[in-house]
C-alpha cells in the first residue's frame, strides 16, 4: 500500500474516541443550546428575533465555510493542533456574545469566531483521525460512537445551559462556558496522536486532485444535496423550538429544556445504531429512510394537538433520527474516496450542511417576523425531507476506481 497515511501501527482507538468524544460533547452541546439565549438577548437589547437568528445563521454558514480548511489542516498538521485553535476561538466567541451589544458587531463577530471554532472542534475536524485509527471492520461503528458523543453533549448541556442562564444570568452563563472550552478541550487535544506514517512510493493524489475528483463524482454531489436538508431541518428545530412552544401556549421553560435533552438522549441510541447498521446494510438506503422518517414525524407533530406529551414524543422520535446521518455520510465518503483526505472531504460535505443550517436559522426568524408564526417553515422542512430521501437512493457507494498508485487508502 502506498500512501502518506499508511499506518505502521495504530494509536489506541478507545483513547481517540474518548478524547474526541469530550471535545464533541462540549462543542456540540453548547452549539445546540444557543436557542436558550434567543429571548433573553433579544429582550435585553430590544432586538427582533431576526437579529439573533441572523447571528446563528452566520455562525452556521461560517462553520461550513471554515470546515474544509479545518479538515485540510487536520489531515496535514494533525487533529490536536486544530482542536487547540478551535478551543481558543470558541472561548473568544462566547465572550464576544456576552460583551457586544451592537447588532451588526454581534452578528458578524459571534458568527465568524464561533463558526470557525465549530469547524475546528466538530465532526469534520475529528473524522479523519477516527477513520484512520479505526480498522475497516469497526470504522462505521467508530463514526457512530463519535456521533453519539455529540448527542450526549446535547442531552447533558441543555439543562446546564438553562440552569446557568436562570441562576447566573445569560452573560455569566457565557463566561462559564468560555472557561469550560479551555479547561476541557486543551487536555483532550493533548491526548490525540495521529497514526504513524511512512514515506509514500510513486505518484500521489494531491489535495486539489482529490477535490476535483470528488466534485466530478455524482454520488458526492448527491451527498451534498442530502446534507443541505439535514442542516436546514436540525437548526430550524433546535433554534426555534423553545420560542415555538412558548408561542403555542406552553410557557413552562422546562418543557423545551426536556424536549431538547430528549433529542440528545435518544440520538445517542440513533447515532450508535446507525453506525452499527451502516456496517451491515447499504448506507444510502439507511440515509433515505432517516430523511423520510423525519418528514413523517414532523408532519404528525404539527398536525396532532399540541401538549407537553406530544412535544416529548416528537423529541424522542426526532432524537433517534437527529445526527444518525453523520456516521452514515462519513462512512459513504470513506468508502468511496478512502481515508487520506477524509477530514477535508467531510468538511466540503458539511459546508453544504451548513448552507442549509444558515437558511434554516435565518428563515425561521424571517418568517416569524413576517407572518407571526412558523407554519410555512414547517411545511418547507417536511418537503425537504422527502427530497433528501429521494436523492440519497441512487448513491453508488462503491470505491472510486483509480490507477494503482492513486488507489484509495485503506
Mean pLDDT, residues 363-374 taken together: 82
Digit-coded pLDDT (tens) for 24-50: 989 988 887 887 888 788 888 888 777
**Which helix (H) or strand (E) is 19 found in, with range?**
helix 13-32
In a domain, 202, yes or no: no
Residue 169 φ/ψ region, left for φ over 0, alpha for ψ in the -120 to 50 degree band, beta for the rest: left
In a domain, 407, yes or no: no
Burial environment of residue 398 by CB neighbours within 10 A (0 to 12, 13 to 18, 19 or more):
exposed
How many domains would you assign to the chain? 1
Q: Could you tell me the pTM of the whole model?
A: 0.75
In a domain, 5, yes or no: no
Give the pLDDT of residue 183.
Answer: 94
In a domain, 348, yes or no: yes
Query: What DSSP assignment string belongs to 240-258?
Result: HHHHHHHHTT---HHHHHH
Asked whether 238 and 155 are in contact (CB, 8 A), the reply is: no
In a domain, 409, yes or no: no
In a domain, 291, yes or no: yes
Q: Please give the residue range of the domain that contains residue 67.
A: 13-195+208-400
Domain of 152, CATH number, reads: 1.20.1250.20
In a domain, 1, yes or no: no
Q: Torsion angle, CA of 92/112/40/353, rounded to 10 degrees?
A: -120
Mean pLDDT, residues 158-164 taken together: 83
Digit-coded pLDDT (tens) for 207-241: 888 889 999 999 999 999 999 999 999 888 887 88
In a domain, 162, yes or no: yes
Amino acid at each position: 500500500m502506498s500512501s502518506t497515511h499508511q499506518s505502521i501501527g495504530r494509536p489506541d482507538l478507545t483513547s481517540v474516541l474518548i478524547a474526541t468524544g469530550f471535545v464533541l460533547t462540549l462543542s456540540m452541546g453548547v452549539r445546540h443550546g444557543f436557542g436558550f439565549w434567543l429571548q433573553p438577548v433579544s429582550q435585553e437589547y430590544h432586538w427582533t428575533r431576526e437579529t439573533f437568528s441572523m447571528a446563528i445563521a452566520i455562525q452556521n454558514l461560517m462553520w461550513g465555510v471554515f470546515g474544509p480548511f479545518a479538515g485540510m489542516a487536520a489531515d496535514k498538521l494533525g487533529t490536536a493542533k486544530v482542536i487547540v485553535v478551535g478551543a481558543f476561538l470558541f472561548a473568544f466567541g462566547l465572550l464576544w456574545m456576552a460583551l457586544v451589544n451592537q447588532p451588526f458587531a454581534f452578528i458578524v463577530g459571534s458568527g465568524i469566531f464561533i463558526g470557525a471554532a465549530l469547524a475546528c472542534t466538530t465532526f469534520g475536524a475529528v473524522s479523519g483521525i477516527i477513520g484512520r485509527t479505526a480498522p475497516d471492520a469497526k470504522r462505521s461503528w467508530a463514526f457512530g460512537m463519535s456521533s453519539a458523543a455529540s448527542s450526549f453533549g446535547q442531552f447533558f448541556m441543555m439543562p446546564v445551559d438553562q440552569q446557568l442562564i436562570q441562576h447566573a444570568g445569560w452573560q455569566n452563563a457565557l463566561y462559564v462556558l468560555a472557561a469550560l472550552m479551555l479547561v476541557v478541550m486543551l487536555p483532550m487535544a493533548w491526548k490525540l496522536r495521529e497514526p504513524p506514517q511512512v514515506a509514500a512510493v510513486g505518484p500521489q493524489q494531491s489535495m486539489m486532485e482529490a477535490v476535483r475528483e470528488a466534485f466530478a463524482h455524482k454520488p458526492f454531489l448527491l451527498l451534498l444535496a442530502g446534507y443541505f436538508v439535514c442542516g436546514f431541518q436540525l437548526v430550524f428545530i433546535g433554534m426555534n423550538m423553545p420560542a415555538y412552544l412558548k408561542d403555542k401556549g406552553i410557557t413552562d421553560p422546562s418543557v423545551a429544556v426536556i424536549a431538547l435533552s430528549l433529542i440528545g438522549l435518544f440520538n445517542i441510541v440513533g447515532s450508535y445504531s446507525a453506525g452499527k447498521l451502516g456496517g451491515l446494510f447499504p448506507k444510502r438506503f439507511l440515509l433515505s429512510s432517516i430523511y423520510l422518517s423525519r418528514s413523517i414525524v414532523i408532519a404528525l407533530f404539527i398536525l396532532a394537538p399540541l401538549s407537553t406529551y406530544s412535544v416529548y414524543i416528537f423529541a424522542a422520535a426526532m432524537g433517534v433520527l437527529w445526527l444518525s446521518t453523520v456516521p452514515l455520510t462519513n462512512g459513504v465518503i470513506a468508502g468511496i474516496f478512502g481515508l487520506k483526505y477524509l477530514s477535508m472531504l467531510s468538511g466540503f460535505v458539511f459546508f453544504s450542511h451548513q448552507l442549509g443550517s444558515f437558511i434554516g436559522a435565518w428563515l425561521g426568524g424571517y418568517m416569524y417576523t413576517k407572518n407571526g408564526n412558523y407554519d410555512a417553515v414547517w411545511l418547507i422542512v417536511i418537503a425537504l425531507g422527502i427530497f433528501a430521501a429521494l436523492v440519497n437512493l441512487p448513491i453508488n457507494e462503491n470505491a472510486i476506481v483509480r490507477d494503482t498508485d492513486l488507489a484509495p487508502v485503506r
